[in-house]
Amino acid sequence: MSILNYFIRRLGLAIIVILGVMIITFFVSRILPADPVRLFVGVRASEEIVEAKRIEFGLDKPVPVQFVNYVGGVLQGDFGISFRTKRPIADDLRIFLPATLELVILSMVLAVVIGIPVGVIAAANRGGFIDQASRVITIAGVSIPSFWLALILQLLFFSTLEWLPLGGRLSREFTITNPIEPVTGFFIIDGLITGNFAAWRNALWHLILPTFVLATYPISLTARMTRSSMLEVMSETYISAAQAAGLSRREILFKLALKNAIVPTLTVLGLVFAFSITGAILVEIVFSWPGLGTYVTESILSADFPVVMAVTLIVTVIYVVINLLVDILQASLDPRVRLGSQ
């Protein structure tokens, strides 16, 4: 199977998954007992206002027609109106989604920069002190609940040492007097683009604790997977041949072994990226981070169904796209992946 055919097949499966999620979330929202129009206009609104809004939102039409209209709106970037904020959900997502992605992307960068080298070094020193220490630390990293770690680090670095801020994306003085002008929604990028270096440093300072907490699981899992894959590759005969040929230890580890051991790690990184978006919910709540997790949590508490549907769909699309990219990259690096899917 060629890489193009493999891509088309995987893309078709991805579209089916996304469509399935849209169907499930839409019809679940329609069978709930709460009246979405009444939630939007409030309990004191007259029946005339309720009916007018029902017609405006297209909720007077048959459910299949509503679903077709919903899909058409989503394809145009229209997710509806939030009952709670009374704003278009697409506008809210432009504010809250970049805040979450900023945390998730930085945590994945740390997973690659720290997790992969730690896994390689641990495998190279199998049974030694470095290997044992890394195994203990990584087991703790995948076991410790993120919200507990967040609270402990807040107590240590904010309450006790007073080194780092408690939460939020910016300190209050910057939020009021010197805010970062939004361009991309990523403060560490927008601060540089707009030349607001004081606020940029403050935003970077606020990123340290939540990013570290969110990155703990990806770093640990990446290190463990890399170590396991490296140990398997290091037992291959071509590694022994390379050692006999006099290649340096560094060349064997990072040029020969890692190239073949990285494929399973890529799969883990793709899954962990999607997991981190949902896992960011607790981290955002603890650190008062105005991201997607905080947004959807408040929406669930206020029965804001359109927001829950939109966020579920966005997370699904991100999950599917990341896994599609990982599958394509795997198929490019290892042709056996394409052959196994035939």
Answer yes or no: is 199 within a domain.
Answer: yes
The reported pLDDT for the residue numbered 185 is: 87
| Rounded (to 5) percent helix, strand, coil in the chain | 80, 0, 20
* Residue ranges of the chain whose pLDDT lies below 50: 339
Boundaries of domain holding 26? 3-75
User: 271 and 123, same structural domain?
Assistant: yes
Closest listed residue to residue 218, CA positions, set 60, 110, 120, 332:
110
Q: What is the structure's pLDDT at 78?
A: 86
pLDDT (tens digit per residue) in 123-178: 888 888 888 999 999 999 988 888 889 999 999 999 898 899 988 888 888 888 88
**Tens digit of each residue's pLDDT (9 = 90 or more) over 202-239:** 999 999 999 999 999 999 999 998 888 888 888 777 77
Q: Are residues 50 and 150 in the same domain?
A: no
What is the b/e burial string over 5-22, where b = at least 16 CB atoms within 10 angstroms of the residue's CB? ebbeebeeebeebbeebb
pLDDT on residue 205: 93
Average pLDDT, the chain: 84
Quick one: pLDDT at residue 245? 76
What is the structure's pLDDT at 105? 92
For residue 33, being part of any structural domain is answered with yes
Confirm whether 22 is domain-assigned: yes
Give the pLDDT score at 276.
84
Looking at residue 231, which CATH number applies to its domain? 1.10.3720.10
Decide if 289 contacts 169 (C-beta within 8 A): yes
Q: Judge if 70 and 99 occupy the same domain.
A: no
